[in-house]
Amino acid sequence: MARSVRKVVIPAAGLGTRFLPASKAQPKEMLPVVDKPAIQYVVEEAVRAGIRDILIITGRGKRSLEDHFDRSFELEAELASKDKTELLDSVRAIADMADIHYVRQGEPRGLGHAVSVARQHVGSEPFVVMLGDDIMREGSRVLDDMLAIHARYGRSVVALKEVARHEVSSYGCARPEHVEEGLVRLLDVVEKPAPDDAPSNLAVMGRYVFTPEIFDALDQVDPGTGGEVQLTDAIGLLIKEQTVYGHVFEEGRYDIGNKLDYLRATVELALDREDLGPAFRSFLVELVERRKLI
């Protein structure tokens, strides 16, 4: 029987070059989506799935991540003095939602290296990896379903989503073997293949449940361009040693590092809000009519 998963690792040490100049002086994971930074959505997703032990892999210039999830006594005192109880509760909840730990990657050597830095914290347990700039809608069950698959089989599980053939070169791409609806076995995974060379249009998304053997696989990966260690290469090695499953999902994911997806997330998540949705929806309708966008 699979051991229960108690820990989440969130790599957040990247430079965020896709979102320059906004990410020059602040981490891309701290970019606000409506009124919360992207990484808070990720932490809240982990907590909803029942996991409170969270390790964030940071790097130089990422101190604001730690400050965000820490207590802010001056701010709390100011809110309390003005009887802003609702805001005070929301600020305190950020610091109390999970047990968050931090470790620095040291230098940007790729996603695989960032995950390997978590080895001492994770130990010999299975664990979850959630990318710090990939967020899911609140109703998404992707992580819950992946944890259920791991509990069933005791093996690693990778989130997969169908993308257009011309988009596969931006992702790791799976060679799948059908198991059942929404579940495949990975025969191979290729990092950013050319569209004509892609084994499928199932792209690897930013959610993983790993057995601890992934660390041994990461140790065997030869660094590629720029000295980066690719997580995809380690998954490929792990596949040779034990079964790795893919959970195929359809909707609810946003890549906050992508400008168009960032705008889409801001609009759709704002529309989902009870306090903002109705007025914002009216504004969008008026905007479409005024600019004759349809």
* DSSP state string for 169-202: GGSEEEEEEEEETTEEEEEEEEES--GGG-S-SE
Please tell me the predicted confidence (pLDDT) of residue 241.
93
**Cβ neighbour number for residue 155 with a 10 Å cutoff:** 19
Q: Which residues pair with 161 in a beta bridge?
A: 203, 249
The structural domains of the chain, ordered by start, are 7-257 (3.90.550.10), 258-294 (no CATH)
Please tell me the predicted confidence (pLDDT) of residue 225.
73
Residue 150, token pair as written in the block:
């791991």
Please tell me the predicted confidence (pLDDT) of residue 16.
76
Residue 133, token pair as written in the block:
């700039």
Please tell me the predicted confidence (pLDDT) of residue 1.
47
pLDDT along the chain (294 residues), means of 10: 83 83 86 93 95 93 89 90 91 92 86 94 96 89 96 96 88 92 94 88 94 96 82 95 95 88 94 94 92 73
Please tell me the predicted confidence (pLDDT) of residue 290.
87
